[in-house]
Amino acid sequence: MTFHGPGQIMLYPIINLRSREIGVKQYVYLLEESCIQLLKELGIEAKRNCGFPGVWTEQGKIAALGVRVTRGVAFHGMALNVNIDPKWFAAINPCGLQLGVVSISDFTTPLPPLELAERWQFYFQSLV
């Protein structure tokens, strides 16, 4: 279970994986990598957590991932926590790991949402 709402930005590409010869695991990797690169630009050390989709910091999960693929076309994508109110996550346990949820604002002053979204899109497009 996850949450999408105020204080997050979304990267939800609709992309034909089949025509680009990209497998689902590779696509998930590309989504995660685009977010990791964006966070690195912001001075935030982020990584994958083997077996648990999304992007993580030492303090908790910073981006959630959910993909649906139908007939080779990927839908949905990722939600990056920019400045979330932690109460939204009080009723759920992301990935069941008890590691908590963090936002960009826990590490640094976030860029404006539109600028963050444009930077994230740039990193994603440079990978696919």
Asked whether 98 and 85 are in contact (CB, 8 A), the reply is no
d(CA 52, CA 113): 26
95 is catalytic: yes
Indicate the burial class of 95 (C-beta count within 10 angstroms; 0-12, 13-18, 19 or more): middle
SS3 (DSSP) at 21 = coil
Asked whether 9 and 82 are in contact (CB, 8 A), the reply is yes
Asked whether 42 and 65 are in contact (CB, 8 A), the reply is no
Which among 22, 42, 67, 95 is annotated as catalytic? Answer: 95
Distance of CA 102 to the CA centre of its chain: 12
Residues carrying an active site annotation: 95
